[in-house]
Chains A and B, each alone.
Chain A
Amino acid sequence: MSKEPDRLLVERIQRGDKAACAECIEQHSPGVYRMALRLTGNVADAEDVVQETFLSAFKAIDKFEGRSSLATWLYRITHNAALMRLRRKQPDQVSVDDEEVFGEGMEVPSQLHDWCCLPERDFETSEARVEMEQAIRTLPEKLRVVFVMRELEGLSTEETAQVLGVSIAVVKTRQHRARLQLRERLSMYFTELAQAEA
């Protein structure tokens, strides 16, 4: 993977250098794909979102001002493309404001069994991993996108806030709520497993 700084790569893309476009794809398509897949929930939509993202990015490359990293800028385009696709497919579900639905308060945990004592191999099965991926898909969209950016793609709180155009406090709250909801869901699965093994 090229280590060429964003600015030089962007300047080359702006000059119409196709090799630079290919380098950009090599560097950023893995992350863009993972984000698209986690946001849309299926491979076909993720592929379309990746295509839309790079097509839009290369068309609008003159508007890239370098205030954020190229990766952050691409994540913003990916997020918008994935959201538009979800809205077309599920207009009723996605247009709902998650904050209004779930209120301001934190979810109160109902799963109180400590399943951490399970053997490590139980956490590494394909079934457990499917459960974890499915759990991400059950999160409300606003929590899911923050969780994917922060926990799975490793964006900082500041970068996530920049991509989404929200405050750092909002990112932290959504990240915390996403973690709590995922813990609840995984607890149901792993508690059952722990009880079956007891």
Chain B
Amino acid sequence: METAECQHLLANMSNYLDGEASAELCAEIERHLSSCADCRAVVDTLRKTVSLYHQLPQPEMPPDARSRLYKSLDLSEFLNPE
């Protein structure tokens, strides 16, 4: 990850993964990736990192916290069990 090409790829990696890089830049990046194992590992694991976070289960507000929220706003009459 020390060459100028690696640094260029690193700066544009999210744009590339998000499909926001130009066709010209994509071609340039793919050329570099075909010959740089380190950058390939970083691109693959960065893509996987983002994908894992998108699949991460979302935390839910505990029911007692929800009850306290309604009470604190004087809305207990609208509090229905989830």
Question: Which chain A residues have a beta carbon within 8 Å of chain B's beta carbons?
Answer: 18-19, 21-22, 25, 29-30, 33-34, 37, 43, 47, 50-51, 54-55, 58, 106, 108-109, 111-116, 123, 129, 132-133, 147, 151-152, 172, 175-176, 179-180, 182-183, 186-187, 190
Contact = CB atoms under 8 A, between A and B. Distances in A.
Contacts of B11: 106
B57 A129 contact: yes
A30 B68 contact: no
Contacts of A190: 45
A18 B49 CA distance: 42
Most chain A CB within 10 A, of B2, B46, B49, B62, is at: B49
A50 B61 contact: yes
Given A123-B52, A132-B52, A115 B45 contact: yes
Given A50-B61, A129-B57, A182-B49, 12 more contacts: A47-B68, A50-B69, A106-B11, A112-B41, A115-B48, A116-B48, A151-B54, A152-B56, A152-B58, A179-B14, A179-B49, A180-B13
A100 B15 CA distance: 24
Contacts of B27: none
Interface of A is mostly: helix
Contact of B50 (A19, A50, A111, A179): A179
A193 to B, nearest CB: 13
Contacts, number: 110
A113 B10 CA distance: 16
A175 B79 CA distance: 37
B75 interface: yes
Contacts of B7: 106
A54 B73 contact: yes
A19 B76 CA distance: 11
A166 B10 CA distance: 23
B55 to A, nearest CB: 8
Interface in B63-82: 65-66, 68-70, 72-75, 77-79
A34 B60 CA distance: 7
B72 A116 contact: no
Contacts of B78: 18-19, 21-22
